[in-house]
A and B are shown apart, each in its own frame.
Chain A
Amino acid sequence: MQRLSKEREATLPYILKEGYEVKSKETELYNCIAFVADDEWRHWWPNDDGYWPIRPPENTPHDDTIDGFVAAFQTIGYKTCDDQNLEDGYTKIAIYVFDGKPAHAAKQLPDGRWKSKLGPWEDIEHNTLRAVEDDFLYGSAVVFMRRETNYSEYADVSKI
């Protein structure tokens, strides 16, 4: 099982207790939001250099609020739901919020575990959402969304 470096593990207070595995090399080409959206060739973020499915009118600031992120994920078929529990026929995502702003996202795997990308670091699979929570950068997973597992992702990505 491949692990993060000790220095990187040390920034994630719950990761060892909850369990995880590294699944990729590090790259700056995409981030956690893109990863959850199954896009590994772009960096998703609501600003001038990030891809964002909802472009604001000229001279209008990007919406980097929780509602803005929810709206972005709605463009690829997700709808808000009540909890993180595994549900037959659905794929879920979780948005982590720190200091009132979205800071990270994770996607549920078919077995109920989660996967996410740690900024410019590696992709990991983690047993719980708690594994990458903290109280200084990602915060906690507080918003949950789901879409049908057989949702046609690529048809939608080509539209945006």
Chain B
Amino acid sequence: MPVESEALFNKGAEHQAGKIPQWSVENNSIVESHGDYPAMESLHQVPVGIRFEFLRDLWRQDIGRDSSLTNITKNKYYSQIIELKTPVVPYILKELQVRPGPWFFALRSIIKDDSPKIPNEYIGNFKKMSEVWVEWGKHRGMI
């Protein structure tokens, strides 16, 4: 089993208290597995929070010491987080509460027109930008 698959397997196994998950990582993407396991039917049964944490850790490892916000938000794992769509938003907001980081492009990509307006003087200040998004999430009962 590839290292990434093993890590995801272990995370899922811990969370599912012994159930055998039916997903894996192939070619750097999480994909459905079609093994002979009876416990889970599809990738969609893996809790979004676990997928987010896993992809976030891969993203952080993959960007390394890159300073380019453009590269950081074009990263393949970051894109896979965006593909998790609206259910991942609460997890991103919780991440912003503890570790403000460059998640704003992901949030805008998912939320689109309902995204909060970030005051110009906050642009680049991840702490302030995070506060705006967290407040936005609180008003909507997301966190």
Chain A positions within 8 Å of B, measured between CB atoms, are 8, 11, 28-29, 31-34, 41-45, 47-52, 64, 101, 103-104, 117-121, 137
Contact = CB atoms under 8 A, between A and B. Distances in A.
A42 B60 CA distance: 19
Interface string B63-81: 1111111100100000000
B101 A119 contact: no
Nearest to A102: B68
Nearest to A104: B67
Question: How big is the B interface, by class?
Answer: 20 to 34
B102 A49 contact: yes
A36 B64 CA distance: 19
18 contacts: A11-B65, A28-B100, A28-B101, A29-B127, A42-B124, A43-B125, A45-B68, A47-B70, A48-B105, A50-B69, A51-B123, A51-B124, A103-B68, A117-B67, A118-B65, A119-B64, A119-B65, A137-B64
Nearest to B64: A11
Contacts of A51: 123-125
Given A28-B126, A45-B124, 7 more contacts: A31-B67, A33-B67, A41-B127, A43-B102, A45-B70, A49-B123, A119-B65
Contacts of B129: 49
